[in-house]
Amino acid sequence: MTNTTILEQSRPIFPFTAIVGQEEMKLSLILNVIDPKIGGVMIMGDRGTGKSTTVRALVDLLPEIQVVENDPFNSDPKDPELMSEEVRERLKKNEKLVVTSKKISMVDLPLGATEDRVCGTIDIEKALTEGIKAFEPGLLAKANRGILYVDEVNLLDDHLVDVLLDSAASGWNTVEREGISISHPARFILVGSGNPEEGELRPQLLDRFGMHAQIGTVKDANLRVKIVEERANFDESPLDFRENYNESQKELTKKLTQARELLKKVEIDYDFRIKISQICSELNVDGLRGDIVTNRASKAIASFEGRTIVTPQDIFRIIPLCLRHRLRKDPLESIDSGEKVREVFKKVFGY
């Protein structure tokens, strides 16, 4: 019996392609897998709407990446930006690196995690007595080139949130203790989920997430029945249930792998880029992060559909996800922020 089979039997994951509805959330996650530089996704929605189920289901679909064998940081054998210092040193000495393939990993950040657990620790005693930098990697090291998932992100300690955001923005994690400093690459897709009832997120935290998906409870009775049935079938016989979705899962994984390859060739017209910035300007979006993310996400959705040219329809589909959380809150506003973005889009694009 293979390790995968043992793993599947111990903790089967609900298949991504079996998830009914919640298109915004699924699309945001898929686009971030195609282009991790979009900057992650914040999923806000009611309790019991399948946020955690969907994020965990994504793991099955993730394509494989090449890593240096036995390296705790998932170092990329070709990209120096994604290599640990140790791997770089070995390359300088012209040592041959053993390269292996592994699935992109997803790391769950527990709510009660300490800073040491997240960032890693330096063993001062070992460093002083043996003269070596003894570093015990944390969750950020494990998440390099993968996904870091924070459930209930609005309940996370402010200090830890700052640490995560610094790493997510710079792509590096630095641990300093007693004059010893160690840095390692920490490029990950930050996925957060939360329930609006449990408190709003700070605006500077929201702004750091590339996309923002809002999900609600399904209202259609027929759809609700379908969701309940699917879940019951899965709980009763997870392996048989997964078997039914094998083909669609493989198909989607293949599509994601091809989209990641195609992304480099996708182009967005200069006129469209001007219009995107015009929309951001009209909506009073602070900074340029909104412009950058919208450009990236438009290219990612085009590559997902196997095209190399971005259309206005692509931009229309993703722009609410990229901008709605960057708008200044007006307590008297009755219109949903996503709708507001769509209205300005239609005006600027003459749609």
- Cα distance between residue 48 and residue 58, in whole Å: 18
What are 43's two structure tokens?
């999923």
DSSP-derived secondary structure for 170-186: HSEEEEEETTEEEEEE-
Question: Looking at 242, 260, 289, 326, which residue is catalytic?
Answer: 289
- Cα distance between residue 219 and residue 215, in whole Å: 12
Assign residue 145 a region: left if phi > 0, alpha if psi is -120 to 50, beta otherwise? left
The amino acid at 227? I
Q: How many residues does the chain have?
A: 351
What are 202's two structure tokens?
């700070």
- Cα distance between residue 135 and residue 290, in whole Å: 37
- Count CB-CB contacts under 10 A for residue 229: 11
Residues in Cβ contact with 122 at an 8 Å cutoff, skipping those fewer than 6 apart? 133, 134, 135, 136, 175, 177, 178, 180, 182
- Cα distance between residue 262 and residue 256, in whole Å: 10
- Cα distance between residue 230 and residue 232, in whole Å: 5
The answer to whether residue 202 is catalytic is no
Cβ proximity of 341 and 294 under 8 Å:
no
Phi, psi for 219 (deg, rounded to 5): -95, -30
**Catalytic residue numbers?**
289
